Structure formats: structure tokens, C-alpha cells
Structure 1
Amino acid sequence: MNIRHTMTAYLAAAVLLLVLWYVIAAIMQLPIVPTPDKVFLKLGHVFRQYILVHAAWSLWRIAAGLGLAVLVGYPLGVLMGHFKRADRFLSPVVYLTYPIPKIALLPILMLLAGVGELSKILMIFLIIVFQVVVAVRDAIRTLPVETYYPLYSLGASFPQVFRFVIMPASLPKFITAIRVAMATAVSVLFFTETFGTKFGMGYYIMDAWLRVNYLEMYAGIVVLSLMGLLLFGLIDAFEYAACHWQRK
């Protein structure tokens, strides 16, 4: 699918959602469900003065948590996928900790790391890192052992095997894991931003709700949705550039 078709599909979906929103607001006729035109008008008035700084803080936390998860999770997944001894030792640790709901660890993180930035970044990290580890490990384990024989017989080093075999094989599932985890990460970030901070989209939306300012609340929700669209768009663009052999 080319860029033009992609943009057309996104535009059609946005129009459909806006029409549904307008119809629901027109039927309910309640202040708690304003029409889209009023929300976007309010968004234009408050975006630069208020929302922009909150969106920047939220994006920073997501980027920091994602970066940390990739730095830790990808090498760990490669280690477990390529070396059976490492997998036998580390898999029980992953399987015992992966099913724990990460949001349940928030009180512990706040006790250990405080209520500031570190606990929020670590929460994003915990949500993403396990999915990265499992996805990369499973992608590498699907490679037949015979794949490595010609390379090693020709004197290839492990960095060369990683560059030409392991990384291309693991990259698609790695990107899929990031894409799947991102939605959960944004949702949990919204919850964590209601504690110990005055910056972030979670704080802004809840503050508007407490002030009974529904237009600002919906404006914040729209921006949060657009942030998710931006993040998924960046992931898709990275996949398009990095996994060029998958293009149709």
C-alpha cells in the first residue's frame, strides 16, 4: 500500500469517526458530549498555551521507556534465542514475571523510585520489555540450525551472523511486539500521570474533568488519540524502511 492509499484510508476512518461522534452528540444533547466542532475550536485555543507542554512530557516518557526496553529487551531476546543455555536459565525468570499485571507494580515502583519521572518511565519499560524479549527470542528460534552452518564454515563471526541472519529474521516480530505493546503503554501512562506530576496528558485530561471543563477534557482526549496515531505511524515508517524485503 502506497502513501496516498494509506492517507486516504486514514482520512476516511477519521471522517467516519467524526460523523458518528456528531450524530451521538446531536442525539444526546448533553454538555458532557459536545459536538466535534466545539471541541476542535477549543483545541485550537488551548493547544499552544496548555496542551503542547503536556503532550511533550507524555511523548518524552514513552520515548524513554521504549528506548530503555529496546536496549535491554532486544539483546536479551537475541541471547535467549541463539544460545540454548541462556534460554534454559532465563526463560523461567521471564515466564514467572511476564504474566504479572504491570499496573499492579506501580505502588512498588513509586515506593522504590519515587512518584516522579523514573517510576513512570520504568512502568513503560516493564510493559514493553517482556514482549520484546519473547518476540525476538521466538523469531530467532524459528531459524533452522542449518542456516548457520555455511556461514560458520566460511569463517563468519557472530557479529556477521547477527547482522546478516539474526537481525533480519527477528526484526519483523520485534516491530510487531513494539506495536502491540505501545497501545497498552499509552493507556498505562495515562493512569500513572495522575500521580505525582502536574505535566502529561493524563494529568491534563483528569484536571479538566475535575474542573468540569468538558471541552478541554475532550480536546485532551483528541490529542492523546493523535499522539497514538503519530506513534503507530512512526513504527510503520520504521518497519517500511527497515524490513524492505517485506514490501509488496
Structure 2
Amino acid sequence: MSEESMAYSASTIVVLEGLEAVRKRPGMYIGSVGERGLHHLVFEAAERALDEIIGGTTTRVEITLTDDRDPAGPRAVHFRFPGGPRDHIAEQTAAALHPDVIGFERECPEMAGTIEVALRWRDTGEDCVASYANSRPTTGGGTHELGFRDGVAAALTAYGREQQLLSPSDPDLTPTHLGPGLTAVVSVKLDHPEFEGPIHDRLGNGPVRACVAEAVREHLTAWLHANPAQAATVLARTPKISRD
């Protein structure tokens, strides 16, 4: 390749105006060109519209979505959950280790918001935790998801030691080693959410972690004591020795 063909200067730069840049490199702006990216666009549009209303710029907002796909093309079917996270987890009945869906709602003034959690262990090889903040999917995780894992680890460790399922020499279970098959939905509603990351897919509110951890620890501990047989099944799948 000649030096001429490899030359790079200001004349090589192409400035894309307006939406042309988004159409050219959509992944840079919405993180995905698939379903996740579409959801992100919808949430961005709704969020900016609400900002306009809150800021007093307008009192009415209309959002129109146009489907440019081939009318004869396939469509994905997406199931809805009127009962919230409990319904979401309840629908995933395949290979459930225990019949109960563990779920609760709680208001937490310390984080200026509410918490809703549902979880169940399934006989699968991987865990699956979906998190949301103000109904917005937080695929990058965040403080609510970290708090959930903290709370589960604390509850299982305390119960395991109490029932002598963990020996005194065994270390505490860690938030990253909670046993395969943990399936959960963690949803928080906040007065002032703080989103982080290039596409705002991670929750950053500091007080949320402690609030969610304490709520999960309390409710999961109560469920473990009320359901010893199911608790033993769950603990049997949890590594007795795990490291961060």
C-alpha cells in the first residue's frame, strides 16, 4: 500500500449531520442494533419528554412510533406481567427447585424510593438476574443489583451457619457465588435516579445498595426459616467454599 493511499488529514474526516450519524453507527449511541437498542430508544424518548414537562417547557407530549419493517415479516411475541416481578418469575416454571416465588415490596426513605424483588432457584447451570430502575432495564447492573446479591449472600451465610450446613472454618458465601440457577427480578422506583455508563444502563445511586441488601436479607431469611425443606435444597446447590 502506497504512502499516498495511507495519508490521513483533516480532509479525510467526514462530519455526519443530525440523525445521519446515528443511522451510520447506531451501536455508538444506543448500545445495540437489536431489541435492546429499540427499548433504549423508547426509554430515551420518554425520559426526555418527561424532562420537558418537569422543566415547564411544555404541558403536553405526544410520542409516535412507526414500524418500518416488512408487514409480512416475523414478529416476536412478548409476554406481559400484570403482577410485576412475581409474575415474571412465576412464569419461569421449568426446572424450579422449589414451588414458592420469594417476593416482596418495601418503601425505603433512605434511598427515596421503593423496592420490589422476586426470586427463585431453578435446576439450571447459570443464574439470571434482571434489574430495573423506574421501569427502565439496567442491563449494566448497578447498586440495586449489587445490593440484591449482598442480601442473598448474607441470608444464606447466616442460615447455613445456624443450621450447621457451613462449618466454622468455611468462609462466608460471596455475592458472586450464590449457587447456580438463581433467577430474580430486582426493581426499584426512585425519586431521583442516577444512571451511569455510555448508554445510561447502570444505576449509580449509592444508598440503594444498602437498602436493597437489608430488605433482601430480611425477607429471604424469613422464607428460609419458614421453609426448611426448600431451604435445604437451595443450600445444597450453594458452594460451601467460594472466593471473590
TM-score normalised by L of structure 2: 0.23
Higher relative contact order, structure no. (Cα contacts within 8 Å, ≥ 6 residues apart): 1
Could you say which structure has the higher strand fraction? 2
Which protein is bigger by CA-based radius of gyration?
2
TM-score normalised by L of structure 1: 0.23
Could you say which structure has the higher helix fraction? 1
